[in-house]
Every structure is written in structure tokens, then in C-alpha cells.
Amino acid sequence: MTGTKDSDRNIALRIIDANANRCAEGLRVIEELARFAMEKRTLVEELKEIRHEVRQRAAALGSELIESRNISRDVGKDFSTSSELSRSRLGDIAGASFSRVEEALRVIEEFSKLIDADVSVRFKELRFRLYRLEKVFFNKVQSTRKLPSCPFLYAVLDRSVVGAADLEDTAQALVEGGVGMIQYRAKGISRLEMERDLILLLKKAQERGVPVIVNDFPVMALEVGADGFDRRDIPVEDKAYCDTAGNGQAS
């Protein structure tokens, strides 16, 4: 894939514009659920604040954003999958909307690096803010995600044993198999991979109210909204957090 700097910028702006709209629309769906299904004013206010912030930060890129829009040339505008049409309960709508928003924020974060690195950082902050809000949202909807009573089956999902391609099926099997808690353990993979794993794992665990703790990475546990972390072998970059927080949950 080759192109001039100007053409790269124009394509990036088109992608940012499409995903900013996608993000705001998804946030509005979640906002309506918080308003009418949950009747949680604080959640509604924070979701609205994030939605407006997405619009404002995208608009800060200037008039080029709107000018780059070209719906007639968008080859993906009419594409949809069967899963998008399948919703059996309000929780399905909320889960799909959170995923849509998080994916859109990630896309904006990446492509805005071609336009303005500071904007990219701001969208990354919004993404992690939404991860934390998602945990709050589902904890309010489903309050069963708490420490199980002993005895219970404690599962360790170790990435040296379970590959990325098998993680989703393994997580599904664990929660359906009746585990009481899952510890996520990963050595030798990037933080980006860990983040992706944990977001997927937490979604599966939330469906059955299963707590998830993260081995060795307290900052990652905080960022993705895990239920705790194990403090046995903490990386240097995470030690400062532990020194001030002191809230790890040992296994």
C-alpha cells in the first residue's frame, strides 16, 4: 500500500470521521439503556460527557474531517453480519455497543497518529475510561460478579498454554464449566496483546458473574477493569502503582 503524504492524510481523516460517528452512535445506545432501563443518572451523565468529548476531539481536527467524507465511495457502508441482527436481551445490545465503541476508539487512536499525536493520546485516554465505565455499567446491571464462596474451582488461563486463537473458546468453556474465578497469566507477550485478551476474557466472564484477576500486571488490571491482581512478580514499571495503591488481590 503506497500513497502520498496528502493521500494518506485524507484516508486517515475519512477513517476517523466514520469511526467518530460510529463511536458516538454506540455511546448514545448505551446512554439510553442507562437512562431508561437502569435509571442511573450518574452513568447517563458520564456517557453523555464521553460522547460529547468524542465529537469535540474529532471536530478539533478541523474542517478537513467533514470535507474528507465520501459516503458514495465507502465500499463497506452496506455490509452487515447475521450476528448484528441477533439480540435476545438488553444486555446483548449493551455488550455489542460497548464493543463497537471501544473498537472505534482504537481505530481513531491509531489513524489520528498520522494527523496529530496529541489527539491520539486523548482518544487512548477515552478508550481506557470507557473500559472502566463498562465494568461499572455491567456491575450495576449484574451484581453477581463477586468473590465465590469456598470451595470453588479456580482456573488459571495461561497464555503459554492457550494461544491467542484459542483464547475465546477456552474462556467460554471455563465460564460455562462452572469455574468460580479465573486468573489470567501471560509472560512474553506485548501489553497490547494482553489488553485484547483481557477485554475478551472479561466480556465472557461478565456473562456468568465470574471474577477475573490478572497475574503480575496491576496497571493492566486497573486499565481493563479486572477484579484484582496477583502481586508475585510485578514488572518494574508497575511497582510504583503497587507502592501507592496496595490493593492487589493475591491468589
pLDDT of 249: 43
The answer to the question of residue 149 being in a domain is no
Based on the domain organization, do 54 and 99 belong to the same domain?
yes
pLDDT of 224: 81
Based on the domain organization, do 112 and 212 belong to the same domain?
no
CA distance 15 to 21: 10
227 in Cβ contact with 249 (< 8 Å): yes
CA distance 251 to 236: 21
pLDDT of 244: 46
The answer to the question of residue 147 being in a domain is no
pLDDT of 72: 65
pLDDT of 241: 44
Based on the domain organization, do 32 and 95 belong to the same domain?
yes
Based on the domain organization, do 159 and 233 belong to the same domain?
yes
CATH of the domain at 195: 3.20.20.70
pLDDT of 33: 93
Q: What's the domain count of the chain? A: 2
CATH of the domain at 102: 1.20.1260
pLDDT of 225: 78
Q: Which grid coordinates belong to 198?
A: 483481557
pLDDT of 83: 61
CA angle 248, 249, 251 (to 5 degrees): 135
Supply φ then ψ for residue 214, to 5 degrees: -110, 130
pLDDT of 237: 52
Based on the domain organization, do 128 and 82 belong to the same domain?
yes
Based on the domain organization, do 64 and 167 belong to the same domain?
no
Based on the domain organization, do 123 and 159 belong to the same domain?
no
pLDDT of 181: 95
pLDDT of 75: 67
Based on the domain organization, do 80 and 200 belong to the same domain?
no
Single residue among 111, 141, 171 that ends a domain in this structure: 141
pLDDT of 144: 43
User: What does the pLDDT look like over 4-52, one tens digit per residue?
Assistant: 678 899 899 999 999 999 999 999 999 999 999 888 888 899 999 999 9
**Residues of the chain with confidence (pLDDT) below 50:** 143-144, 236, 240-251
215 in Cβ contact with 185 (< 8 Å): yes
Based on the domain organization, do 136 and 160 belong to the same domain?
no
Domain carrying residue 100: 5-141
Based on the domain organization, do 206 and 121 belong to the same domain?
no
